[in-house]
Amino acid sequence: MVPGTWLVVASAVAGVGTVFLIGSLWQYRDKPGARWFLVSLGGQAVWSGTYAAALLVSDPALRFALEVVVWAAMATMSVTFLAFALGYTGRGRFVRTRAGRALLTLPIVVAVAVATNPWHGLVWTGFEVLPVAGVATASYALQPWALAVAAVGALFPLVASVLLLDTVVSYGPLYRREAVAVGLSTLPPTAALYAWLFGLGPVPTVNFATVLFLPHVLFDAYAFVGSDMFEFHPATRRTGERAALDDLGNPVVIVDEQGRVVTVNAAAATLLDVDRRAALTNPLDDYLDGDSLDPTVGDQRVTIERDGAPHTFNVTARPLRDGGDTHVGYTVVFQDVTEELQREQRLEVLNRVLRHNLRNDMTVVHGFTTTANDLVDDEEVSGMLDTVERKADELVALGEKARSVEQIVAREPRQTPVALDDLLASVVDDLREAFPGRSITLECSPVTLETDEETLRVVTEALLENALQHGSPDDGDAVRVDVDAEKESVTVRVADEGPGVPDQELAVIDSGRETDLEHSTGLGLWLASWGARQLGGDLAFDVSDDGTVASLTLPAADPTSEDAVGRSPPSPRRDG
């Protein structure tokens, strides 16, 4: 074989291998950056194949024409590989900018400039074909500006490699080896291209870049074909991070360690009435209508004028750290709570006024009704007054339940050791006095829970009251309370023998909302449901012809704690 023939064969093999790679990756053409990568590979295939053919051509005119194609292919590959890296890493917006579109015209400009060089000589001078080691090489002297343009263009693949490697560092281990392979694959042909541009190496007129496309093709095949690198790409994460900030409904401001604005999302720009660019580097406090924020304090509250009216915002500030866990600033999130505060205020006023008036007025009604009942001899009128007394008592009890609801919802649960058997015995004793003549049985072994004692008392009282109210004292219906303690949970069951809780009331509790057509008759079940949720437990009802069983399941105490294992009387409590 002629010594230089291996250059032709290696270049041709690189071109053919690139064509096969294009065919393998065609299915991914709709992935971010994939079309630019395919175009770049197309430029690489044309460059390799054309250069292989040019090494066999000694005719100056034909060799000049092939040189024009080679230069156009080089420019195409260089520019589109950069466009691929931008799109693949989620920076594809640059390609759609004016500068990006101008950059994409570089291959056309290069092709025209080289093709017309015989008339202006701006690209090179002294073009001639020289035989070297059995192949034909082209020799010419590049003009300084053309050499500078070519050298800068050759940097584009290196910039693309930096983008890929930066993404690997920033976004973790997903396809790390594959992205490194693609990034490093550009180094050998780029080094050969620079050696040719500046006349370095033993044979300055031979461009060895096409030969070094062979490892480039192998690296790309490993990354994109062997590992499906286009299936998961960093563009999704980068775009998602940008969208998470820009598309978030709540205003978000990023500040540096000194509280100066670094960036704001669209919602924050509207809230603070600032231009996103103009706000950069200015203190965030400048836009807060006299209030000030300390980003080192996690949760704060500020008032900002919005639409001509003051709005109250809860502000959450969290430290922002880079990939090296270095503190670089704070993320400040604003949440408008104006309507929520107004609604809470209205509910507090209504709740207080109604409860206060209900208790006072019903006490007056009850007192006058009792006195009137003592003075009346007519049985029919006395029966009516008895009904009024009963309803007055029920309304007072309803007011007390409303107060219990408010206390449960508003208070923070306090986890303390609670002797469940003692608590249930106390609740049962209280309700026996409130419902004389009713049978309540309690069966509970000594067991201790880590829970909120006050809320647990309210919930168990509500379940027992509900069972007593739905039972029938005339038929001697009994209410039974028993406890099933397991390793991870404790279940309190309250069973009655009455007609059962109406399906309508259970449906309302299950759905979590009331309507004009579907609503409960009181607050008892709501109180039990909300309280169970506060305790981190679960409340369920089993209704049958034999009655209703309400099951309150709560997390058990830590089995290793002294409170959980320290109480071990031999027999369960049985009350009748």
CA 470 vs CA 38, 501, 509: distances in Å:
75, 7, 17
Average pLDDT, the chain: 79
Is residue 561's pLDDT more than 50?
no
On the question of pLDDT at 243 being above 50, the answer is: yes
Give the least confident one: 168-182, 283-297, 523-537.
Answer: 168-182
Helix, strand, or coil (residue 51):
helix
The pLDDT tens digits for 97-128 are 888 888 889 999 999 999 999 999 999 999 99
pTM of the model: 0.51
Residues near 573 by beta carbon (within 8 Å), at least 6 away in sequence: 421, 425, 442, 443, 444, 445, 446
Pick the more confident residue, 127 or 522: 127
Please classify residue 543 by burial: count the beta carbons closer than 10 Å to its beta carbon, then call 0-12 exposed, 13-18 middle and 19+ buried. middle
At residue 40, does pLDDT exceed 70?
Answer: yes
C-alpha dist (Å) from residue 418 to 36, 316, 514, 564: 68, 35, 34, 10
Sign of CA dihedral 338, 339, 340, 341: positive
For residue 9, what pLDDT band results from cuts at 50, 70 and 90?
A: very high
pLDDT tens column, 378-435:
777 777 877 887 777 767 766 666 666 666 665 667 888 989 989 999 988 888 887 8
Mean pLDDT of the region 508-520: 44
- Check whether 163 has a pLDDT greater than 50: yes
Task: Give the model's pLDDT for residue 75.
Answer: 92
CATH placement of domain 412-575? 3.30.565.10
pLDDT of residue 424: 92
Examine the pLDDT at 496 and tell me if it is beyond 90. no
Show the tokens assigned to 380: 């029919």
pLDDT at 446 over 90: no
Under CATH, domain 248-336 is a member of which superfamily? PAS domain (3.30.450.20)
Length of the chain: 576
The pairing of strands 448-451 and 439-444 is unpaired
**Range of weakest confidence among 171-180, 521-530, 549-558:** 171-180
Task: Quick: pLDDT tens for 466-489.
Answer: 888 766 555 556 888 999 888 888
- pLDDT per residue over 124-146, tens digit each? 999 999 988 888 999 999 999 88
CA distances from 66 to 75, 150, 268 (A): 14, 18, 57
- How many Cα atoms within 13 Å fall on the side-chain side of residue 438? 26
Where are the chain's structural domains? 5-238, 248-336, 343-410, 412-575
In this structure, what is the dihedral angle of CA atoms 374, 380, 386, 391, given to the nearest 10 degrees?
Answer: -140
pLDDT for position 47: 93
Please report the DSSP string for 248-303 in residue order.
-SS-EEEE-TTSBEEEE-HHHHHHHT--TTTTTTSBGGGGSTT----TTSSEEEEE
Lowest mean pLDDT among 188-192, 243-247, 455-459: 243-247
What pLDDT sits at residue 516? Answer: 37
What was the pLDDT predicted at 80? Answer: 92
- 5-238 placed in CATH 1.10.3470: no
